[in-house]
Structure formats: C-alpha cells, structure tokens
Chains A and B, each alone.
Chain A
C-alpha cells in the first residue's frame, strides 16, 4: 500500500514536471487594459482583439486584467513582471509611468506601451498618428455636412484628445474654411469615459445648436452620442474600433486606430524572438490609422465623398498635406 502510494506520488510529480516543462515553453503575455475595460467597443476592445488573436494564432498564454483606477497600474504591471511573464503590455497613456518604473526594475522582461512614449532598452512604444485620421474624418464630415456646423465631443481635456480635435478641425476647414466646430468635453475624472448620459446631453445640445455631425473620441460615453444621433436623426462618427454597427444608418464612419494589429505584431515579434525596443509609429501610411467603410455605412458615404477622402488620404501620406499635430504645438 505504501509502495503504491509512493509510486503514485512519483507519477504525479513526473506528470507535473512534464506539464511544467511544457508550460515553461509557452510564451506568456500579460495584458493590462485601461479603465474602459475589454468591452468598451472602442480602444480597449481593439487591444483585446489583437491579443486574443495572438492567443489563437500563436498559441501563447494570455492573461488580461482590467484596471479599476489609475493607482492600480503599477501594482498590476509589477505583479506580471514578478511572475514568469515574458511580455507585459500596457494599454493607454495613463500607464506610461508604471511601465517606465517597472521596466527599469525588470530589465530581462519585455514591455509594450500603447499611446505613450517610454524610452528604455526593453520597452516598445506604439504610437498612433491620431491627428491624421481625425483630419480625414473631419474632411469627410465637412463634405457631408448640410448645416456647415460640426460637433466634437472629447472624453477629457487631455493632450491626446486635443490632438484628435486639432486634426478634426483642420480637416473640416480644409474642405470648408467657413465651417464652425462646437467642442465639448464630458468630464474631468475617470468617469468621463463612462458617462453615456452626459455624452448624450452634450450631443443633444450640439445638435440643438446646429451641428449635424459629431465626432466623439470619448470612450464609452460616445454610446450616448450615438443615441442622440438616432433620436435627432443626425450623424455621429465613431472612434478607435469600427463602431459603424452600433447604430447603423447614424454612424457616418469610424476613425480606426489599429491597436489590434500593433499589439498582435508586438506579440508575434516577442514569440519569434524578434522583439525590438524603441518607438513604432502607426499612421495612414502603414494602415495603423484609417477610416471604416463597411456594409453599415457604405450607403451613407457617396462615391464622390469616398473618392475625395481617398485623395486626401493619399496626399497626407505623400506629405502634400501637413496635418497640424497638437503634440508638436508649443
């Protein structure tokens, strides 16, 4: 009996050793999402999509966490780094400090940060040229607008959102120099990205003031903007992920920020041992930024508008149009 027991223990430990060995082979990725969470249908959803695709295509081990407040980032990052995770990905500008600090303490681990620049030998920063895409959707909005007044609703007044706004206004003015753009911001705390009731109220107020198309980089608060568009029979423009499907017929287009592609590529490089640090920029030129045309909005955008949009896109890529960048403003 005792022998049998020992034998059992032996087998179990052998089994554990084999499995442990197999698990150790697996590339482990820790993904830290921002407060919007993985189902925000926007920015975080895009990141999560890229990571889950990597999980199925590249057979990595993926663990994701959703931060509930800004103070949690550093703890979450460190706990991934202390365990046997190979690659730790922080989504969103508010994680920059945490990645900077923890990456210095764990030089053997690899880190990725989206939307912020962190210069370290083991950190890859993924930056998106939001102003280019905003310029493009601003131009489309100005082409489609009947009233000559456009709306902009940002989540919070931070440089990233100002960058969207500046590009959007410039794009609209390129088409119609006399266009008027009304700008509003939802809030001043993290709730700003999750306050659809307020988003809707802002949109109703902008539509009331004459705007007929609203671009809304405001996280989940833009769901309220879409509601207002539906009720007032006006248009809205989605952001980050393709949001055309949320209210078909009322969402003119979405400015795409291909966080999914960039995150997938970073994981793929990590798995293949080709991870490089430094800053990678994604813009219209490499399809990291784009605008969405699909079955939900192809009837809304006339062929003429689409052709003109493609032309503007080509001119931005060729450098013929210089899009103002809030980050470069003094």
Chain B
C-alpha cells in the first residue's frame, strides 16, 4: 500500500515541477492578453529568461540574482515586442513569431560569447540553483495576479484595455500605456518561467530548452478562459498529463506488449487538443484582443 502512496506522491511532485514553468509563462501571457495584446512571444521570452538566469546565476552564485536578471531580461525583450505591437501597431502574430525567432538565434549567440559553446552554458553547482522556492513562488504569483486583476484599479484598467479600450480612453486613461505595462509585466513573468527551467529544473541553459512550453502556456491560458485560477488549474492538468506520460511509458495495459512509447508521449498534446476542442465549452477571448489601439 505504501508503495502506491509513494507512486502517488511522486506523480504529484512531478506534476508540480512540470507545471511550474508553465504557470509563470501562462500568468504572463494572461496579463498581456487581458490588456488586448496577443502574446505568442512567450516561448522566446522564456528562452531569453532561461539563458540570462543561467548566466547570471553562474557569475554570481546566487539563484535569486539569476531569477531577478531573467525577469529584467524578459521585461526588456517584452518591451521590444511592445514597441512593435503597441506603439507601431504591427501585426501581433507576426511580431510575436519574430521575437521567438530572435530569441532562438540570439541565445546560442550570447552563449557562445560567454561560455564558448553554442549549445549549453556551464553547469551550475547545487548552491547556485533553486531547490524548491519556485515551486511555491509560482503559486504566490497566481494569488497576486488573481488579486491584482480582480480587485485593484490597475486590474480594471488592464481588463478595460482588452475589452473596451475606447471606454478606458474616454475615462482619461491612456490605453497604450496600460498595454505597454501589461506586456512588460508578461515579460517579467515569462522570464521567470524560463529561469525555472535553467536554474531550477535543470542546471544549465541549453539551446531551445523551452521545447514548446511557451505555446503550452498559451494553450493553458486559453483553456483557463483568460482567468488566473482556471489557468493555473490548466497548467496543473498539463503537468499531470506529462507526469502520467512518464509513468505510463513501458507499462503493459493489455496483451503482452507495452503500449508504444510514441502513443504515450502524445498524451499531453492530446489533452491539449481535447480540452481546447470543446470539453471545456465555449471560451471568450477579450473583445479587443489582437487589435492595436489607435486614438481617434
């Protein structure tokens, strides 16, 4: 019996760990999207965060400094994104894709400069990495974002910037300033999400180490109907699917042969499609999502 309990605890641990980077990125994406800016650049912002966190933690031997720097770097990259989509009103999908490609290219380049290697940074010793802080930290951010969006004037501005930017404008609040702020905040969070990958879940940056997690985060926030708690729940669900996937590999379910690994491995993606395709019912995006705001 205690063996079963062990298994359950292990799966729970895996779920929480696998969900952590998704949580940060999804919360970031949520703030940006609630303000009306699509953020498919999450993947790239995470990648930048992952690299900067590894580099700074390596130089300072402090994971906290690494995470802080990753936050700033994510914010900086996001402000670059905001420049194009908020100020210059570029197409958000195209600009977001460009940010992702830029991040995929610039990180190995910087890695080469600092670590003489295009594929990974130097390994971090245990004392330069987080042991468990991000595990709790992520949930503190969930609470903070839920509170901030729901109960503060700032949250109301963000929501109006995404639903009725004109109304917000008539009330004398500058819509684009709110959007700038929201996008930069989303960069902070996505940068932190990337940092959890390189200085918490592993011990170095490696090329393209986000492996699509930015897009999973995006799916989670859509599944969560752009609301903080359901989004956090969706991240947990994806984490759980991934943890189960690890456990189910090589397990014989029927007959004598185990289920083919490839079939098991599509589980998280399968869950994504399933939940997005309707199990969850209709979900409504912020009304002004994806539309640049131009003051008349």
Evaluate contact between A197 and B197: CB separation under 8 angstroms: yes
When the two chains form their complex, are residues B250 and A184 in contact, meaning their CB atoms are under 8 A apart? Answer: yes
- Give the complex CA separation of A206 and B256 in angstroms: 22
Given known pairs A39-B120, A188-B262, A227-B202, the reply for A183 and B250 (CB within 8 Å) is: yes
Interface check B39, CB cutoff 8 A:
no
Chain A 29-47 per-residue mask, 1 if CB under 8 angstroms from chain B, else 0: 0000000111111000000
Nearest A residue to B261 by beta-carbon distance?
A: A157
User: Is there an interface contact between A223 and B120, defined as CB atoms closer than 8 Å?
Assistant: yes
Contacts of A187 in B (CB 8 A): 211, 265
Of residues 203 through 220 on chain B, the ones whose CB sits less than 8 Å from some CB of chain A are 203-204, 206-209, 211-212
Q: Which residues from chain B contact A74 at a C-beta distance below 8 Å? A: none
B204 near A36: Cβ-Cβ < 8 Å: no
Q: In this complex, what residue of B is CB-closest to A181?
A: B250
Task: Kindly state the separation between the CA atoms of A157 and B261 in the bound complex, as whole angstroms.
Answer: 7
A197 with B209: CB separation less than 8 A: yes
Question: B18's closest neighbor in chain A, by CB?
Answer: A201
Q: A205 near B: Cβ within 8 Å?
A: yes
A185 touches B249 (CB 8 A): yes
18 A–B contacts from the bound complex (CB under 8 Å): A41-B119, A157-B262, A182-B250, A184-B246, A185-B249, A194-B207, A195-B211, A196-B201, A196-B203, A197-B202, A197-B209, A200-B201, A202-B246, A204-B13, A205-B246, A209-B10, A220-B207, A223-B206
List residues of chain B with CB within 8 A of the CB of A117: none
Chain A residues, Cβ within 8 Å of B201: 196-197, 200-201, 224
For the complex with contacts A39-B119, A188-B266, A208-B10, 15 further pairs of A-B residues with Cβ separation under 8 Å are A37-B207, A38-B118, A41-B119, A157-B260, A183-B250, A184-B246, A185-B249, A188-B265, A194-B207, A196-B209, A197-B197, A197-B209, A201-B14, A201-B18, A201-B201
Bound form: Cα–Cα A278–B212 in Å: 40
A residues less than 8 Å from B116 (CB atoms) = 39
| Chain A residues, CB < 8 A from B118 | 37-39, 66
Interface contact B208-A194, CB-CB below 8 Å? yes
B265 touches A205 (CB 8 A): no
- B6 on the A face (CB < 8 A): yes
With A197-B201, A220-B120 as contacts: A205 and B126 at CB distance below 8 Å: no
- B positions within 8 Å CB-CB of A: 6, 10, 13-14, 17-18, 21, 108, 116-120, 123, 126, 197, 201-204, 206-209, 211-212, 242-243, 246-247, 249-250, 260-262, 265-266
A191: chain B residues within 8 A (beta carbon):
208, 211-212
Q: Are A223 and B204 in contact (CB under 8 A)?
A: yes
List of B residues within 8 angstroms of A202 by Cβ = 246
Query: In the assembled complex, how far is the CB of residue B126 from the closest CB belonging to chain A, in whole angstroms?
Result: 7
Q: How far is the CA of A224 from the CA of B265 in the complex (A)?
A: 19
Residue among A200, A202, A220 with the most chain B CB within 10 A? A220
- Once the chains are docked, how many angstroms separate the CA of A223 from the CA of B198? 11
Q: Which 8 residue pairs across A and B have the least CB separation, nearest first?
A: A39-B117, A196-B202, A197-B201, A191-B211, A37-B119, A39-B119, A157-B261, A208-B10
- With beta carbons under 8 angstroms apart, the residue of A36, A40, A184, A194 that contacts B211 is A194
Instruction: Evaluate contact between B202 and A200: CB separation under 8 angstroms.
Output: yes
Q: Taking the nearest CB of chain B, how far is it from the CB of A138, in angstroms? A: 17
Give bound CA distance, A230 to B120, whole Å: 19
Total number of residue pairs linking A and B with CB closer than 8 Å: 97
| A194 near B206: Cβ-Cβ < 8 Å | yes
A188 and B266 CA atoms in complex are apart in Å by 8
Q: How far is the CA of A197 from the CA of B118 in the complex (A)?
A: 18
Chain B positions within 8 Å of A200 at CB level: 201-202
Q: Provide the residues of chain A in CB contact with B260, threshold 8 Å.
A: 157
Beyond A187-B211, A204-B14, whether A36 also contacts B119 by CB under 8 A is yes
In the complex, A191→B43 CA distance in Å?
14
Indicate with 1 or 0, residue by residue over A210-227, a CB within 8 angstroms of chain B CB atoms: 000000000010011001
- The distance in angstroms between the C-alpha atoms of A227 and B129, with both chains bound, is 11
Q: Please, how many angstroms separate the alpha-carbon atoms of A231 and B206 in the complex?
A: 19
Indicate which residue in A41, A185, A223 contacts B203 across the interface (CB closer than 8 Å): A223
Interchain nearest-CB distance for B91 vs A (Å): 25
Of the listed residues B10, B17, B202, B261, the one surrounded by the most CB atoms of chain A closer than 10 A to its CB is B202
A205 touches B120 (CB 8 A): no
What A residues does B203 contact at CB under 8 A? 196, 223-224, 227
Q: What is the distance, in angstroms, from B41's C-beta to the closest C-beta of chain A?
A: 19
Q: Does A246 touch B at the CB level, under 8 Å?
A: yes
Find the A residue at minimum CB distance from B196.
Answer: A197
> Is A195 touching B209 in the complex (CB atoms < 8 A)?
yes
Instruction: Determine which residue in A39, A66, A184, A194 has the highest number of CB atoms from chain B within 10 A of its CB, and name it.
Output: A39
Per-residue contact bits, chain A 163-200, to B (CB 8 Å; 1 contact, 0 not) = 00000000000000000001111011001001111111
Give A41's nearest chain B residue, CB to CB.
Answer: B120
A196 to B204, Cβ gap below 8 A? yes
Bound together, the chains give a CA A196 to CA B203 distance in angstroms of 8
- Please report the C-alpha to C-alpha distance between residue A236 and residue B246 in the assembled complex, in whole angstroms: 18
Q: Tell me if B206 and A196 are in contact (CB < 8 A).
A: yes
Closest chain-B Cβ to A189's Cβ sits at a distance in Å of 8
